[in-house]
Structure 1
Amino acid sequence: MSNGSCNLPLDTDIFGLTCIYSLVFSLGLPSNLLSLWGLYQLGRSGGGGCQLVYIFNLLLSDLLQLLTLPLWILYLQGAHRWPYGRVTCELVGYVFYVNVYASVMFLCLIALDRCLAIVYPLSSRRVRTVRVAAISGVAVWTLTFLFCLTGLLPSVFDPERFLCLEQYPVSPRYAYFKITTVALGFLYTSAHIGVTLRRSPSLSDHERHKIVGILVVITINFIVVFGPYHLVGGYRFVSLLLTVEPCGLERAIFLIYRLCYGLTSLNTLLDPLFYIFLCTDARLELKRSLPCLRRGQNTRKKDDPHQSDCSTHLICM
């Protein structure tokens, strides 16, 4: 199987990406919906503050990205042939990329908010408001939409080979776009989160230590999920601009790049775990609104009257 240009082994990524996308979709969809319900209940009770806005936008971007995965699975099972036409390919590809980079930006906003809460707890109250968070959310969505629009248009669909969001070899314009996403979407944001993490541990208060903990979680999430794709992608696109034999490079790096590309979708699994299920307030609201959770908790306490609620030991924002 080849793409008709670089003679790439397009069938080598089908099994790996299908497993990743199937796992992420089957676990990520219910966990994100449950998390959004918990946020809704927390908001109704008056809790959450500006963090509620950032986490809601983060989970919304995850949910939109999840909804594109069944189409990518069908695309892979169809031997990298997109049967739904140009418009659908452009729309699904655009939604996928927008929400990947929107997730990155909202992670940065959460880290920045935690940094302000630690370093400037009093003077930052004027900017750490729901109104500022809502404006920041609108700004992130707008800038991400416009940025991805410039890189993915005029088209990400190959009508001759029915490839969607794949170019072999890539055009110089697309390569420059992807290098920019590595610089702004990963290197800059990694430095931002790293500086935030470095400044945070200087205070030893118990509540602030929990905030430092969530910054560590953000950093691990960011490096493990987004790191491989951006590092391998940066190498790929810089090398393609410099090499005189692009197809040889594409064949050598095809499988590892595609698998790293698929790993970015794991972010939709980790966000609910880190930002909702590890948050005591959100879990309490879920237990109040879902009787089945309350019954399960009561049963465990009856079985072991000395069992303590583990939520007191978990990290929360």
Structure 2
Amino acid sequence: MSNDSCGLPLDTDALGLTCIYGLVFTVGLPCNLLSLWGLYHLGRSGSGGCQLVYILNLLLSDLLQLLTLPLWILYLQDAHRWRYGQLACELVGYVFYVNVYASVMFLCLIALDRCLAIVFPLSSRRVRTVRVAAVSGLAVWTLTFLFCLFGLLPSVFDSERLLCLEHYPVSPRYAHFKITTVALGFLLPCAILGYTSAHIWVTLRHSPSLSAHERRKIVGILVVITVNFIAVFGPYHLVGGYRFVSLLQADEPCTLERSIFLLYRLCYGLTSLNTMLDPLFYIFLCADARLELRRSLPCSGRGQNAGKVTAGSSRAHPDAHEQSGQNHVSVA
């Protein structure tokens, strides 16, 4: 079970990645579907505002990746042999990259939206609209698709060894593409996240008008975004950055590939964990997520009663408070 070019032990990552993908698929799929269903009904009630658009796009991106995980598990169990054809490999590989960098961009938009809502609650109203959010979402999808398409052409499939989305050793063109993704798809968004988070924390410390409930929501959203960047996307991009920069300078690239293979592959698998964390945004967006979800589910016998109890609270989402007065600082 080794690669013909570098003698890589391709079976060493099968157990770890299979466990990660199996857990993510089992937990992430129902959580994302429930969150999407709840957000759909929240949007129909007129609540959520522009951040609802960003979170919906984020969850849709996660759902695309979740649906590809069974194929990756089969690929791993077959000793890194992709038996479903070149087109399927390119589509699945494309979905992986698009999910990673679309997720990063939407997380940045959520953080930027929170910063504008808290630091500039009045002057930002003109740009914090559903229409602007929809245009921003469309721009993110378009740029991400084009960027990933450029990097993955001409193909991510090795027809001789049946490898999918793997290159050993990588070509200089692919290495440059990956270094660019680290710079533009991770380091730059990290800088944006750090800038917005610093402004939010300063404002929270000097804003007595915010209620304890609003503060908890803000902190919860920032924690989810930060964990996604540091624990989920961080290892993959930092290890990957080291790998591809070193490969461009290495005299014996296969030696480096063998030494870093397992670590890089496990970090690669960790990126799928964001599909388990992103549904938490629904909890921080909805005033009472549990009762709101029960109200929206037709199979819940107590849904109608719960709906009567929570209808007022869902309509009274903090986004509406932005319109209620000039002196109140809204964070919705």
* Both proteins in one fold, TM over 0.5: yes
On the 8 A contact 1:197/1:216 being kept in 2, the answer is no
Which residue matches 1:31?
31
Q: Which amino acid aligns with 1:33?
A: L
Which residue matches 2:244?
237
Q: Are 2:221 and 1:214 equivalent residues in the alignment? A: yes
Secondary structure of the corresponding residue to residue 155 of structure 2: coil
Alpha-carbon distance between aligned partners in 2 of 1:209 and 1:75, rounded to the nearest angstrom: 42
Secondary structure of the corresponding residue to residue 103 of structure 1: helix
Alpha-carbon distance between aligned partners in 2 of 1:268 and 1:101, rounded to the nearest angstrom: 13
Matches within 5 A, 1:172-187: 172-187=172-187
On the 8 A contact 2:82/2:163 being kept in 1, the answer is yes
Which residue matches 2:232?
225
Greater CA deviation, 278-287 or 220-229? Answer: 278-287
1:29 Cα deviation from its structure 2 partner: 0.6
On the 8 A contact 1:200/1:212 being kept in 2, the answer is no
Alpha-carbon distance between aligned partners in 2 of 1:142 and 1:279, rounded to the nearest angstrom: 26
Alpha-carbon distance between aligned partners in 2 of 1:295 and 1:258, rounded to the nearest angstrom: 46
Which residue matches 2:113?
113
Q: Which amino acid aligns with 1:256?
A: L
Alpha-carbon deviations, 1:188-236, whole Å to 9, x = none?
1111101111111222323356324422331122111000000000000
Which residue matches 1:308?
none
On the 8 A contact 1:81/1:163 being kept in 2, the answer is yes
Q: Are 2:282 and 1:276 equivalent residues in the alignment? A: yes
Q: Are 2:260 and 1:246 equivalent residues in the alignment? A: no
Which residue matches 1:132?
132
1:279 Cα deviation from its structure 2 partner: 3.8
Equivalenced residues, count: 298
Q: Which amino acid aligns with 2:23?
A: L
On the 8 A contact 1:288/1:294 being kept in 2, the answer is no
- Where structure 2 has 5 or more consecutive residues not aligned to the other structure, the ranges are 306-330
Which residue matches 1:307?
none
Instruction: Name the Cα RMSD after superposition.
Output: 1.7
Matches within 5 A, 1:1-12: 1-12=1-12
Alpha-carbon distance between aligned partners in 2 of 1:127 and 1:208, rounded to the nearest angstrom: 23
On the 8 A contact 2:93/2:164 being kept in 1, the answer is yes
On the 8 A contact 1:59/1:271 being kept in 2, the answer is yes
Which residue matches 1:152?
152
Alpha-carbon distance between aligned partners in 2 of 1:119 and 1:188, rounded to the nearest angstrom: 21
Secondary structure of the corresponding residue to residue 19 of structure 2: helix
Secondary structure of the corresponding residue to residue 125 of structure 1: coil
TM norm structure 2: 0.86
Q: Which amino acid aligns with 1:275?
A: F
Which residue matches 2:163?
163
Q: Are 2:74 and 1:67 equivalent residues in the alignment? A: no
Cα distance change on mapping 1:34 and 1:210 into 2, 3 Å = closer
Q: Are 2:54 and 1:47 equivalent residues in the alignment? A: no
The percent of aligned pairs where both chains have the same amino acid is 79
